[in-house]
Structure 1
């Protein structure tokens, strides 16, 4: 497996160090089909697992979970285009995300498993529809239009806030109107580290929300997926995300599902060890 550049970094701080911490993080780059540079990190040993993160996030959000996943898998986590260590391109749609995942699967090698979270799960679903997948497809709360459009008419206001530079207001608008968090929960979310991490990335969510709604409410086409598939959902998540996961179980042939009690859309951050165990069980089939 090769990359344009690699460096061993401390798994906790991300700073270069001569003494590798277990499990260490190895950074590298690869190119997507349109020439876009994708930055990623590799961590652990064992079967390959490519991880595709969600909206308003970077691959670094998965550092806590990969600390535990790395005990069983060689994790490959890329920054999706337009953020973090990755470049971007003027042309964007869901097919470019599929090409990016294909580039990462090539880095990971034959038989790699594929995990997607939130919008990243929508991207991995599109990948599994278009390209063969020998490993297990793991989907953590994909946002599907089970209750109508995810963004709908609210997208126009979100775009206005982003264009005006009110990224803080845009994030609040999105969490209430798209993620369906109750407004009274927003002050508590503001106090978490996730808020400051997400705010600068709100502009990338515009085009992703467009793609989510463009997929429509018809989910039957996912029945063409042949890869072994497992869904993960938190019982404490918002209703449409929970239903999205459970609806897919009845559509994708042979799919299974694990509910994580009292956890939500950020279970991989709040309970990384439990989440890693769930992924391992999904891959092993028990």
Structure 2
């Protein structure tokens, strides 16, 4: 049964809760939500050890859209959900949701441990071209002109989906769901700004993320992805880096869940 929490600006954020044990919030990446993404199956795989919260980021699923496209609003949403758990939840984020989770931890919402899977960071130009510096403006122009399908197609191209595959996707029922959440791409590109332009990661953005952190990538993922996540582990104050053999960005819950269980159940601090 869907529950709701009210964010600081009055936006209602929808969430589910399953399982029992320490509280754990899962943060989805771009365009994903409870009804369309990886968090549901992962939550089921973790529910024997944790009370797992999955939620619809604003503008997706059953959550309200709000009016202000700002990274602060998404951080307030996550902060409101963290308070709903009673405070001090464990936190996991995937893809752009990993950056959102890291930013929330830096904001000081009381996260005791943090796990991040494949934040899409482009820290050099060796393996791929950077994302255009004005991508947020491009997406905003498409959304304001009603070109949601164009915004989705451009995003798919940026993440490496072949043009033929995008053409086929346009014919499938799922395309209408993607177009419906296309406006939320503005949030992702807003807080990803400066992290995908082929430059080293900032050394101060996550300087307060001192809790034990696990940065994970897949052994079959692209070189630029793995380079970016190694760099993330290096700039975080208290992070370890781990690669899951045979996995890529579409990580299997059966492979990821045991790793998260081991990490979150371990000692609270490595000193």
User: TM-score of the superposition, structure 2-length normalised?
Assistant: 0.82
Answer yes or no: is the 8 Å Cα contact 1:57–1:197 preserved in 2.
no
Q: In structure 2, how many angstroms separate the alpha carbons of the residues matched to 1:93 and 1:142?
A: 19
After TM superposition, give the deviation of residue 156 of structure 1 in Å: 4.8
Answer yes or no: is the 8 Å Cα contact 2:105–2:111 preserved in 1.
no
Structure 1 residues 133 and 159 mapped into 2: Cα distance closer, same or farther (>3 Å)? same
Which residue of 1 is the match for residue 256 of structure 2?
275
Q: In structure 2, how many angstroms separate the alpha carbons of the residues matched to 1:223 and 1:163?
A: 36
Are 1:264 and 2:259 counterparts?
Answer: no
Which of 74, 79, 100 aligns to 1:102? It is 79
Which residue of 2 is the match for residue 235 of structure 1?
219
Which residue of 2 is the match for residue 219 of structure 1?
202
Q: CA RMSD in A?
A: 2.8
SS at match of 1:46: coil
Are 1:72 and 2:49 counterparts?
Answer: yes
Which of 92, 114, 120 aligns to 2:97? It is 120
**Higher RCO (C-alpha 8 Å, min separation 6):** 2
Q: In structure 2, how many angstroms separate the alpha carbons of the residues matched to 1:236 and 1:230?
A: 19
How many pairs are equivalent? 257
Gaps (5+ residues) in structure 1?
Answer: 1-6, 8-26
Which of 113, 131, 135 aligns to 2:108? It is 131
After TM superposition, give the deviation of residue 132 of structure 1 in Å: 4.9
SS at match of 1:116: strand
Gaps (5+ residues) in structure 2?
Answer: none
Answer yes or no: is the 8 Å Cα contact 2:211–2:238 preserved in 1.
no
Q: In structure 1, how many angstroms separate the alpha carbons of the residues matched to 2:62 and 2:11?
A: 11
Answer yes or no: is the 8 Å Cα contact 2:148–2:180 preserved in 1.
yes
User: TM-score of the superposition, structure 1-length normalised?
Assistant: 0.78
After TM superposition, give the deviation of residue 182 of structure 1 in Å: 4.9
